[in-house]
Amino acid sequence: MIIAIDGPAASGKGTLARRLAAHFGLPHLDTGLLYRATARALIDQGRDLADREAAIWAARGLALTDFDEQALRSRDMSEAASVVAAIPEVRAALVETQRRFAHRPGGALLDGRDIGTTICPDAACKIFVTASEDARATRRALELRARGEKVDYAAVLEDIRRRDARDSTRAAAPLRPAADAVVLDTTKLDVEAAFRAALAIVEAAAPSFRSAAG
């Protein structure tokens, strides 16, 4: 059984995905890390983010164990990941890795932008997590400050708007809810309430998950 969690930047989908995966004992793939690691490889090689050939090679050369998550979660890497993620051949190079992960015998949980629409259209449960721009910018600013980055709210809001616009208007697998996804708005929910709401969605979509978690 596959659980697909999609949504825009700082919607709370990462936290939810981790909690749901732990609750159901499922392996979890944060697919944003694939795009972040691709961008990181380009930057480390001194290449331009617009260098399509280099980006495609970097994506093809990724291994799921390569990630230095802490370094990849910086503000700069968020923007760079969104740029390389708009290159259709980069996305194509990462499809197989994601599908192989998703189709493990015991099931899996993946989060990203196009899991329910493109990577796993047959997922048993699809949740599209969203929140107001203000809530997302506030959360992201707190998260970046906790990492030690000096950011102000206005700059973070601007980052989020730019990234949302790029991620949802690109031609290849743009960010949008799958037709059969349940939309979960976390604007007014704390982490615990969002988790409870997501749990109810999973259990309604795939009752077998209830017994699987015990």
Q: Which residues bind ligand DC (CB under 6 A)?
A: 9, 31-32, 35-36, 78, 81-82, 85, 112-114, 163, 167
Nearest distance, CB of residue 208 and ligand DC, angstroms: 25
Among candidates 114, 53, 110, which has minimal Cα distance to 82?
114
Q: Which is nearer to ligand DC, 35 or 209 (CB)?
A: 35
Q: Which is nearer to ligand DC, 96 or 210 (CB)?
A: 96
Give alpha helix (H) positions in the chain. Answer: 13-24, 32-44, 52-60, 69-72, 75-84, 88-102, 133-146, 153-169, 191-205, 208-213
User: What is the CA angle 56-62-64, rounded to 5?
Assistant: 145
Nearest distance, CB of residue 24 and ligand DC, angstroms: 20
Nearest distance, CB of residue 79 and ligand DC, angstroms: 8
Nearest distance, CB of residue 94 and ligand DC, angstroms: 8
Contacts of 181 (CB under 8 A, 6+ apart): 4, 6, 116, 126, 127, 128
Nearest distance, CB of residue 115 and ligand DC, angstroms: 6
Q: Which is nearer to ligand DC, 12 or 32 (CB)?
A: 32
Q: Which is nearer to ligand DC, 78 or 97 (CB)?
A: 78
Contacts of 119 (CB under 8 A, 6+ apart): 4, 31, 95, 98, 99, 102, 110, 112
Q: Which is nearer to ligand DC, 191 or 200 (CB)?
A: 191
Cα separation values, 7 from 75, 116, 191, Å = 18, 10, 16
Which three-class secondary structure state does DSSP give residue 125? strand
For the record, the structure tokens of 159 come out as 């980052």
Q: Which is nearer to ligand DC, 32 or 107 (CB)?
A: 32
Nearest distance, CB of residue 146 and ligand DC, angstroms: 16
